[in-house]
Amino acid sequence: MSHPSATPPTEPHVMPTYARVPIMLSHGRGCRVWDVDGREYLDALAGIAVNTLGHAHPRLVKALQEQVGRLIHVSNYYHHPWTEPLAAALCERSGLDNVFFCSSGLEANEAALKLARKFGHDKGIARPEIVVYERAFHGRSIATLSATGNPKVQAGFEPLVDGFIRVPINDLEALRRATAGNPNVVAVFFEAIQGEGGVHPLDADYIAGVRALCDAHDWLLMIDEVQCGMGRTGKWFAHQWANIRPDVMPLAKGLGSGVPVGAVVAGPRAARLFQPGNHGTTFGGNPLAMRAGLETIRIMEDEGLLANAATQGEHLLTQLWAELHGLPGVREVRGKGLMIGIELDRPCGDLVLRCARAGLLLSVTAERVIRLVPPLILSRAEADEIIAKLVPQVRAFLDETHA
């Protein structure tokens, strides 16, 4: 098979932390990107659920250009006009109280873990413990890696941080058993839909059950919405399908539509835990990032992107199921809104390059789950194009390989 790019890119001066797809991307527009050789790709990955508004959205570009020419960064020593409006916008849409801003998902989760420990210490618990989940992914710092439920990404970085109790998803009884009589538990921490772990949604009933348990025991309910939040499932935040509110909610990925922005949103029980000096980060809350987040939210509302994510997601899920179910090798098609996983019975990382050659960008996570997290501006025609490009690749791959 020929290389998708005329000149395979090499980066001898870059640490080889990623086995990149051999494509050198040049520019994008909407849900499409082009490589330096002029080949066009439909982007069903969106920078891993980051490019909410697709590429080069004219309104976002205009706002960012204006901001770059005005102020990019001033540090947290001073006020600037964009922090409070974005914080207020997030509080309004989540029903929570206040926000700490940072620049990435792991940073948001790290802040959540610190909030939980502070919550415990303020109650006189010297060695607080936090419940986390099998197959969870919370980031690559030492603490968030320790909270992550994937031994593969932990290997080589021990000793891990302790103070975590691990349970399976969607099993309230297991959670009760794992915490029974333990006075050191301070929080329960999960993704409303596990992303990197293979697109596994937590049941609405389960989430509501954990909320009740947290209330009964005075634990913080902390929901990592870094990937599934910001409108991707058709509601602002995926936990809203369960009609509950968390106490702590980390956000990042889609929040700035490509500009690095992270945030931890806190409800009444966690909003006053951090006091001056307790936490901070240099880049957090800078004017460029705040402007990106605020403009992204405004555009999402003006363009009805929550409803669009729900509609196109439903269409994709139904059609993909119709095309793929019954094929030997296809286990499940699942997800919510524009966060969809197709689980096969075998490792299928090769599909990433096969699909790229067919003009479709996507990822494979947890070895055997094809993940679609396209921009929320995806049109019906583009959804159909994803199906038309993906299904023949899956069929051919299953024909040529064995479980």
Ligand X SMILES: *Cc1c(COP(=O)(O)O)cnc(C)c1O
Catalytic residue ranges? 137, 224, 253
Shortest CA distance to 250 belongs to which of 99, 375, 131, 117? 99
Q: Judged by CB under 6 A, which of 42, 106, 132, 261 binds ligand X?
A: 106
Taking the least distance from each CB to ligand X, the nearer of 34 and 206 is 206
281 is in an annotated binding site: yes
Contact yes or no for 45/227 (Cβ under 8 A): no
107: Cα within 13 Å, side-chain hemisphere: 18
Q: Does 224 interact with ligand X (rule: CB under 6 A)?
A: yes
Taking the least distance from each CB to ligand X, the nearer of 138 and 354 is 138
Integer Rg of the chain from CA? 21
Q: Does 226 interact with ligand X (rule: CB under 6 A)?
A: yes
Q: Which two tokens stand for residue 130?
A: 């936090």
274 is in an annotated binding site: no
Least distance in angstroms from the C-beta of 268 to ligand X: 24
Q: Judged by CB under 6 A, which of 67, 179, 227, 365 binds ligand X?
A: 227
Contact yes or no for 64/288 (Cβ under 8 A): yes
Residue closest to ligand X, measured at CB: 105
Binding mask 22-61 for ligand X (x = CB under 6 A): ----------------------------------------
Q: How far is Cα 333 from Cα 342, in angstroms, rounded to an integer? A: 4
Q: Which two tokens stand for residue 256?
A: 């700035």
148 is in an annotated binding site: no
Q: Judged by CB under 6 A, which of 51, 83, 109, 233 binds ligand X?
A: 109
Least distance in angstroms from the C-beta of 259 to ligand X: 12
Residues in the chain: 403
Residue with tokens 């240099």: 282
Binding mask 118-137 for ligand X (x = CB under 6 A): -------------------x
Enumerate residues 6+ apart whose C-beta is below 8 A from 196.
137, 150, 227, 365, 366
225 is in an annotated binding site: yes
CB under 6 A: which stretch of 32-40, 105-113, 310-318, 386-394 binds ligand X?
Answer: 105-113
Cβ atoms < 10 Å from Cβ of 276:
6
Residues 231-260 that bind ligand X (CB under 6 A): 252-253
Q: How far is Cα 227 from Cα 373, in angstroms, rounded to an integer? A: 9
Q: Judged by CB under 6 A, which of 4, 105, 198, 337 binds ligand X?
A: 105
Least distance in angstroms from the C-beta of 227 to ligand X: 3
Q: How far is Cα 347 from Cα 370, in angstroms, rounded to an integer? A: 10
Residue with tokens 């926000």: 99
Looking at the DSSP bridge assignments, the partners of residue 133 are 167
137 is in an annotated binding site: yes
Q: Does 146 interact with ligand X (rule: CB under 6 A)?
A: no
Residues 180-209 that bind ligand X (CB under 6 A): 191, 195-196
Count the site residues for ligand X by CB under 6 A: 15
Enumerate residues 6+ apart whose C-beta is below 8 A from 126.
none
Q: Which two tokens stand for residue 23?
A: 């494509």
162 is in an annotated binding site: no
Taking the least distance from each CB to ligand X, the nearer of 284 and 329 is 284
Shortest CA distance to 50 belongs to which of 33, 67, 62, 70? 33
CB under 6 A: which stretch of 103-111, 304-312, 314-322, 374-382 binds ligand X?
Answer: 103-111
Strand, helix or coil for residue 313: helix
Q: Judged by CB under 6 A, which of 139, 198, 267, 335 binds ligand X?
A: 139
Shortest CA distance to 340 belongs to which of 308, 369, 297? 369
Site for ligand X, rule CB under 6 A: 104-106, 109, 137-139, 191, 195-196, 224, 226-227, 252-253
> Residues within the annotated binding site for pyridoxal 5'-phosphate?
137, 224-227, 282
> Residues within the annotated binding site for N(2)-acetyl-L-ornithine?
140, 281
> Residues within the annotated binding site?
137, 140, 224-227, 281-282
